[in-house]
Structure 1
Amino acid sequence: MPRISVIVPVYKVEQFLPACVQSILGQTFADFELILVDDGSPDGCGALCDAYAGQDGRVRVIHQKNGGLSAARNSGIAAATGEFLAFVDADDIVAPDYLEQLYCALCASGADMALCAVEDVNEDGTPLEHPEITAPAAAGSFSGKALLAEFFGPNATCYTVAWNKLYKRSLWEQLRYPEGLIHEDDAVAHRLFAACETVACLSAPLYRYRLRQGSICRSGISPGSFDGVTAHADWCRFFRDQGMDKTLLDKALAACFRRYLALCAGAKKELTWPIAARWHGAQAELRCLLPLVKGCGALSLTEKLSCLRWCTRPLPLPERGETPRTALLLPPELPVPAVKGGAVETLATHLMEENQIEQQLELAFVCRLDEEAAAASARFSQSLIFFVPPAGRVRSLVHRVRYRLAKLAKRPVYWQEYQHYPLPFLKRLNADLYSVEGGQLDAWQQTATCFGAKKMAAHLHGVAYSSPALDAQFGRVLAISDYVRRAWLSSSALPADRAVLLPNCVDTGRFCPAPAAENERAELRSRLGLAEQDFVVLFCGRVCEEKGIHRLVQAMRQIQDPAVKLAVIGSPFFAGQADSPFFAELRKQAEALGERIVFTGFVPNEQLPAYYRMADAACFPALWEEPAGITAIEAMACGCPVIATDSGGMPEYLEGSGAVLLRRDEIWDGECTPVPGVPELSGQIAEAILALKDRPARRTEMAAAGVRRAQDFSRQSYYRTFAGFARRMRR
C-alpha cells in the first residue's frame, strides 16, 4: 500500500491538467498513489487521465457521472488506500517537495494534519508581478481546536481549504464533503480541526493556486452563493453544541450573518427561482440562530437590528414564467426535507429530489420550522421552502383574537395559527396549484377562500371522506390508491375524472437488492444481536395498535423455533416520538421472548435499505384500512418477501409480487371490531412465517417478483405524474 493517496477531482480542466499531474508525479517523495477522479468531464480530460494511468503505475482513474467537486472528492476518499490523504485541485500545481515536507512535518510532530502556505499564480502558471502568499499565522505545532480561531483572521484560506494539507486518513472515517453544494471546504474544515489533537503548520509556500476567471470562487451571485452561509451556519451550530469558547462562537456568528447580509442586497437584483429558494433556506437557518445574536459581542447594535430584519421579513419572489408553479401545504407536525421521518414528508422530499434533476416545476413547500431541515434544504435550489416558525405566546394570543372575530363575522379563519401564518406568502406566490398534503383538510379553508377551489387539490395520504364543505374547498383530488380514491368519491359530488390516482413511491436507486452487500448484512445482524443462520422477520413502521405489530409479537410467541427472530424498526411517531404507553406495553409482552425480538427505535430513511436486505421476510399486519403502505414497496424493492394483511390499498401495491396476503380477524377504526369466521390473525402470521422459512425457493421467487413490481413505484414515475397534474392545472 502507498503511504499517501493524492486525490485530484477532474472536470473541464483539459488545458490545466497536464501541469497539475506532472507537478505531482515529479515529487521528491515517491511513495504515493495518484487518484484522478474524472467527474463526467465533457472534454478530453477522461482520455488524458487514462493516458497517465498507462504511463505511470501510481496513477489510478475513477470515471463517474458528474456529481460536483464534493462527490468527486468523496469518491477519491472511498477509493484511497494510503495511510495519509492529500487533495490537489486539477487546475493548480504543487512544489516538487510538497508531499515530502508535509509528510516529514507530520511525522516529526506526531500531528494529525500538516498544512503549508499558498502562493497565488497567474492563469498561465507564472508568478504574479507582486507575489501574493497566504501563510499560517505562525509556523509550528498547535492544537487543532486552538487553530479554529484563525478561521476568522486575514490568512483564513490556509486553514479552511481542502488542499495545501496532508491528513491522517482516520480523520475521514466518519466525514465526507456535502454533495450538491459549493463552499464544501468550509462545510467540513471546522470538524477536521476540532478532531485534530495536533496540527503542524509550515510557512513554506508549497501549493500554487491558479487565479482563473472562470473558477467557482470568481462567479457572480448564484444559488450556490448561499452555500457559504450554510457552511458558516454549521460552524455556529457546531461551536454552540460543542460548548466552545464564546469568543469563537461570536466570531462565527458575526462572519455568518455579515455574509448573509451582504448577499441579501445582491439577491434582490438578480432574483430567479433558484436564488429565491436558497435565500429562503438560508433565512430559515439564520432565524434559528437569532437567539444567539442578542448576546454576540462581535456584532454592533446596528448589525443586530439588520440581522433581525433580514431574518424575519418577507423575502421577494421572482415573476411568474412559463414553468408551472406549485405549492405543497404540509401538516404542522414534521418538516421537509424529511430529516425527522414521516411518510408524507418523505414523499414530498422525493418530489424535491427529482425536481432538482428534471426542473419541470417551480416547487414551493409550507412546513414547520426546524433547524436541521433548514440546513438540509441547502441541497434543493429548485424547491423553495417557506418555514413556519413557532407561534409563541404573543402570536398565538393575537391569532386567537383574530379567530374569534372571524367567527363572529362568519369568515373562514382556522383555529390553528400554523395555517394562517403563510397566507401572505401564498398570495405573493400566486401558484397554479395549492396541494394540501393530508392532515386536517378543512384547516386550509381560509387559503381555499383566497384562491378558489379550482386551484386547490386535496392530496389524500389516508382514507378520507368528503362533505359539501370540502367539495366547495377542493376542485381536485390526488389519491395514493384506488381504495382511497373510491372512498372519497363515495361521499363527494366531485366528478370522477377530478380524482386522480397518484401511487406512492420510493427511491428505487437506494431501495434495491445489493448482492455484493454480504458484509453489510453480516455486520448489521451482528450489531442487532442476530446470527447469520437466524430467520429474521422485519416490521417497519409506526409502532401503534392500528399497524397490528402486537399481533406479530403474539405470532412470535406461538413460534417455537428459536432461530426465528423479529426486528421491529420504528417508533410511535417517527423521530418526533420515541415512546408511548402502547409501545411500553408491547416491549413488556416481548420480554418473554428474550433476544428473539429486537427493537431498534426510529431509523432514518437513508439507512433503511440495509435493514430490509438483512431480513429474510417483512411482515406488515395492519388492522386498519392501510391506505397504501410505503414500507411494503421498500421491502419489495430490496428483494425482501412480504407478508401483509388484505387491508385498504395494500393489495393494489402488492399485486404481482407474490406477497402472502392474510385476512384480518378484526378491523381497527379507533377501536377493534371482530370479523366473524376468520381464523386468528396471529396464528395465520405464524403459519406464513414458518412456511416461508421452510421454502427458500419460494422466497427467491417472491424476492424477484417483488423487485419487478417495485419498479412501478419509482421516484421518477411519481414526479412525472405529479408534474403532469400540475401542468393541467395551469390551463
Structure 2
Amino acid sequence: MSKLKVVIITSGYLPIPAVKGGGVETLIDYLISENETQQELELTVFSSFDEGADLSAKKLTKCSLVFIKTPGFIRLSDKLVYWFSRVVLRKANPSSYRYILQRLAYIRKVGHQLATRDFDRLILENSATLFGVLKTKQNRLKYRGKYYFHMHNEVTNDFGYQDDIEKVNKVLGVSQYINSQMQQKYPEMKKEQFAVLKNGIDPSRFSRAMSAEDRQTLRQRYGILETEVVFMFTGRIAAEKGLLEALQAFEKAELVNAKFLVIGSTFFKTNVKSSYHLKIEALATKLKDRVILAGFIPNDQLGDYYGIADVCVLPSIWDEPAGLTMIEAITAGKALVTTNSGGIPEYVPSESAIILDKNQATFFSELTETMKELAKETTKRNALEEQAINQRQSYSTEKMYQDFVKIIE
C-alpha cells in the first residue's frame, strides 16, 4: 500500500526547521522528526526561506522541504509597514504587521506550486490566511475533501474564507476547548469535522539529566547562587501570558532568597519589542538583579534552562488554547503554577500543578501566596515534581505523530 502524500503549509514567516523558534513551528518539527523514524507518510513541507533552516533541512531524508524565497523589495516594504505601525500609528502590537506582504507573496507562490503537484492531504497550519492557497488555478476544486486545518489558536478573522473553512475535511484542534470555540463561530459545521490532536514534545529535550557541574555553570552565567530558588517563565512576552502579573506577585512576595528568570521575547528570534515588553523591562530594572531577562532561547536548548529552575510560573490570563510551555514544565519534572485558562486543564491534571482560577478576584493574592509557599516549602515542591515525572509520558511526540496519522487517514 502506497503512503499518503501529505503536504504541510506553514505560516509564511517563521521557517521550518524551527531555527527561529515558534510554538507551531516546533510542533511541525516534531512531526517531521517522528516521520524520519516511523516513515508512515510521504511528507512535504512548504516554508519561508531561511539560510539556517535550509542548512538544517539537509539532514532530513524522509521529508521534502520546499523553501519560498522573499524578494528584497517585499522585505523592505514589510519593514516600512512595521515602522509605520509602530512609530506613526503607535499600534500596541506592531509585530502583527511585520510580515504582511511576505505572507501574501508566500501564499500566492505556494498556491501556484500546489496547482502543478498532487497531494493526498493538505494541512493548513493555524492561520485562516493560508486558505488563500486554494484560490489559485482551481486548487479549491482539486483539493476538495483533502484539506485540513491544524488549529492552534482561535480564529478571530477568516479573511473572507468562511466558505472554505466550513468545507474543511477536518479541523485538528489542539484541545476540545479550541474546537468548541470554532464550532460556536461556525455553527453550520458538523461535529464529524472536528478532532482533537493534542500537542506533544520531545522528552529527550526536557527530561534529560543535567550534571551538577553543568547546572552550576548555567546558574553562574546569570548570577544565580546555588542556594537561591529560581522561578521561571517561558514563552512569548505578551500581555495574555500573565508575565507582568507573575513579576508583580514576585515583587510583592518580597522573597529574599529567590530570583525570577524570564525566557522569551516579543516575537521569537527578532529584535521586535512591544510596548508590553518595555513594561516588563522597566519592572525588571526596578527589581535589579532579582529578575533576569534571558531573551530568546532556541527550543533545543530550553531543557537546560528548565534544569536550573525550581518552579515554573505560567499564569496565562487569556483562554489559552493548550499551552505548550505547561507540558514542557511537567516533562522537565518541575513544580508548576498555572491557571484554569482555556484548554490548559485538558493537558495539566490538578495533581501535577497548582492551578489558579484566573477569574477570581483573589487571583493575584493567591499567586503571590503560592510563590511564597513554594519558595519556602521544599516538601511541597518535591511533591509536585514527583507528580510531574509520573505524568510526563503522556505528552510524547511519538503519540502526537500517531494521532496525526490516524486522523488524516
TM-score interval, smaller chain:
0.7 to 0.9
Match of 1:461 in 2: 152
Aligned pairs for 1:117-156 (under 5 A) are: none
Note the C-alpha offset of 1:426.
1.8
1:526 corresponding residue in structure 2: 220
Q: Which has the higher contact order (CA 8 A, sep 6+)?
A: 2
Is 2:59 aligned against 1:379?
A: yes
**In structure 2, C-alpha distance between the alignment counterparts of 1:359 and 1:713, rounded to whole Å:** 20
Q: Residues 22-61 of structure 1: matches in 2 within 5 Å?
A: none
Aligned to 2:33: 353
Verify the 8 A CA contact 1:663 1:678 in the aligned structure 2: no
Aligned twin of 1:117 = none
Query: Cα distance 1:395–1:605, how it changes in 2: closer, same or farther (>3 A)?
Result: closer
Paired residues for 1:78-117 under 5 Å: none
Cα shift readout 1:441-481 (whole Å, capped 9, x = no counterpart): 44344265143441111110112267842444522110001
CA contact (8 A) 2:250 2:371 kept: no
Note closer, same or farther for the CA distance 1:565–1:415 as it changes in structure 2 (3 Å cut). closer
SS in 1 for 2:205: coil
Match of 2:47 among 351, 367, 392: 367
In terms of mean alpha carbon deviation, does 683-692 or 529-538 score higher?
683-692
Aligned equivalents of 1:418, 1:657: Cα separation in 2: 45
Q: Distance in 1 between matches of 2:305 and 2:191?
A: 40
Question: In 1, Cα distance between the equivalents of 2:373 and 2:222?
Answer: 24
Aligned match of 2:93: none
Is structure 2 residue 237 aligned with structure 1 residue 573? no
1:617, CA displacement in angstroms?
Answer: 0.5
State yes or no: 1:599 paired with 2:293. yes
Q: Answer yes or no: is the 8 Å Cα contact 1:524–1:614 preserved in 2.
A: yes
Root-mean-square deviation (CA, aligned residues, Å) is 2.3
CA distance in 2, matches of 1:328, 1:577: 28
SS in 1 for 2:245: helix
Number of the residue aligned with 2:191: 496
**Structure-2 change in CA distance of 1:393 and 1:520 (3 Å):** closer
Pick aligned residue for 2:369 from 687, 703, 711:
687
Of residues 177, 200, 208, the one that matches 1:505 is 200
Structure 1 residues 390 and 456: CA distance shift in structure 2, 3 A:
same
Deviations 1:320-339 (A, max 9, x none): x8111111111112000000
Alignment partners' CA distance in 2, 1:545 and 1:457: 30
Give the deviation of 1:572 after TM superposition.
Answer: 0.4
Aligned equivalents of 1:496, 1:389: Cα separation in 2: 39
Could you say which structure has the larger radius of gyration?
Answer: 1
Percent identity over the alignment is 28
* SS of equivalent to 2:374: helix
- Is 2:138 the counterpart of 1:443? no
Instruction: Give the SS at the match of 1:416.
Output: helix
- Name the CA shift for 1:683/1:527 in 2 (closer, same or farther; >3 Å): same
Deviation track 1:268-310 (CA, whole Å, cap 9, x = no partner) reads xxxxxxxxxxxxxxxxxxxxxxxxxxxxxxxxxxxxxxxxxxx
- Bigger Cα displacement from structure 2, 445-454 vs 346-355: 445-454
C-alpha deviation, 1:558, in angstroms: 0.1
Q: Which moved more, 1:505-514 or 1:424-433?
A: 424-433
Q: 2:307 is aligned with what amino acid?
A: R
Aligned to 2:383: 701
Cα distance between partner residues in 2 of 1:643 and 1:327: 37
Tell me, in whole angstroms, the C-alpha distance in 1 between the residues paired with 2:279 and 2:369.
Answer: 25
- Written as runs of structure 1 = structure 2, the 5 A alignment for 1:381-396 is 381-393=61-73
Matching of residues 253-292 of structure 1 within 5 Å: none
Partner of 2:8: 328
Distance 1:607 1:595 in 2: 23
Q: Distance in 2 between matches of 1:555 and 1:390?
A: 44
Give 1:427 shift.
Answer: 2.9
Distance 2:238 2:74 in 1: 35
Q: Deviations over 1:225-263 (max 9, x none)?
A: xxxxxxxxxxxxxxxxxxxxxxxxxxxxxxxxxxxxxxx
Using the size of structure 2 for normalisation, the TM-score is 0.87
CA change 1:565–1:722 in 2 (3 A) is: same
2:108–2:132 Cα contact (<8 Å) kept = no
Which residue does the alignment assign to 2:85? none
Q: Which residue of 1 aligns with 2:229?
A: 535
Report the AA paired with residue 506 of structure 1: I
Does the residue aligned with 1:353 lie in a helix, a strand or coil?
A: helix
What CA distance in whole angstroms lies between the structure 2 residues aligned with 1:657 and 1:329? 37
Contact 2:70 2:105 in 1 (8 A): no
From 345, 349, 356, give the equivalent of 1:655: 349
Give the aligned residue type for 1:436: L
